[in-house]
Structure 1
Amino acid sequence: MTTLSLDNKLTTVIIIFTVETSQQDDLIAAIKEFLETVKTQPGFVSANLHKSTDGVKVANYAQWASTAEFEAFRNNVEIQKKAEKLFTFDRPDSHVYEIVTCESKVGTPEIKEGEYLTHFAEFSMKPENQPKMIELAKEHVKPAMEQPGLISATFHRSLDGTRVINYGQWSNQEAIEQLTKQPGFGKAAPYGEGIADNEYHLYEVVHVVKT
Structure 2
Amino acid sequence: MISDRPQIITIQPSSSLEDLGMPTVAINNEVTTVIIVFTVEPSQQQELVDAIATFLPTVKQQPGFISANIHKSTDGVKVANYAQWRSQADYEAFINNAEAQAKGEAVRAFGPPDMHVYEVVASETKIGIPEIKAGGYLAHFAEFRMQPENQPRMVELAKEHVVPAMGQPGLLSANFHRSLDGTRVINYGQWENAEAIEELQKQPGFGKEKPYWDGLAENEFHLYEVVLTETAD
CA offset at residue 115 of structure 1? 2.0
SS for the counterpart of 1:208 is: strand
C-alpha displacement of 1:7: 3.0
TM superposition score normalised by structure 1: 0.99
Matched, 1:114 2:135: yes
Could you report, residue by residue, the CA deviation over 1:116-156 in whole angstroms, capped at 9, with x for unpaired residues? 10100000000000000000000100010000000000000
Q: Provide the residue aligned with 1:103 in structure 2.
A: 124
**What is the rounded CA distance, in whole Å, between the counterparts of 2:99 and 2:134 in structure 1?**
30
How is 1:101-180 mapped onto 2 (pairs within 5 angstroms)?
101-180=122-201
Structure 2 residue aligned with 1:194: 215
CA distance in 2, matches of 1:65, 1:14: 14
Bigger share in strand: 1
1:135 counterpart letter in structure 2: E
Cα distance in 2 for partners of 1:28, 1:126 equals 31
The match for 2:31 is: 10
**In the alignment, structure 1 residue 47 sits paired with structure 2 residue 68:** yes
Q: Could you tell me how far apart the structure 1 residues matched to 2:35 and 2:208 are? A: 24
Q: Secondary structure at the match of 1:200?
A: strand
% identical equivalent positions: 68
Which residue does 2:110 correspond to in 1?
89
2:41 to 7, 10, 20: 20
Q: Aligned residue for 1:181?
A: 202
Does residue 32 (structure 1) correspond to residue 59 (structure 2)? The answer is: no
The alpha-carbon deviation at position 42 of structure 1 amounts to 0.4
Q: Which runs of 5+ in 2 are unaligned?
A: 1-21
Q: For residues 27 and 108 of structure 2, what CA distance do their matches in structure 1 show?
A: 34
Task: Work out the number of aligned pairs and report it.
Answer: 211
The alignment's C-alpha RMSD in Å is 0.6
Output the CA distance in 2 between the equivalents of 1:127 and 1:180. Answer: 26
Q: TM-score, normalized by length of structure 2?
A: 0.90
Q: Which runs of 4+ in 1 moved over 2 A?
A: none
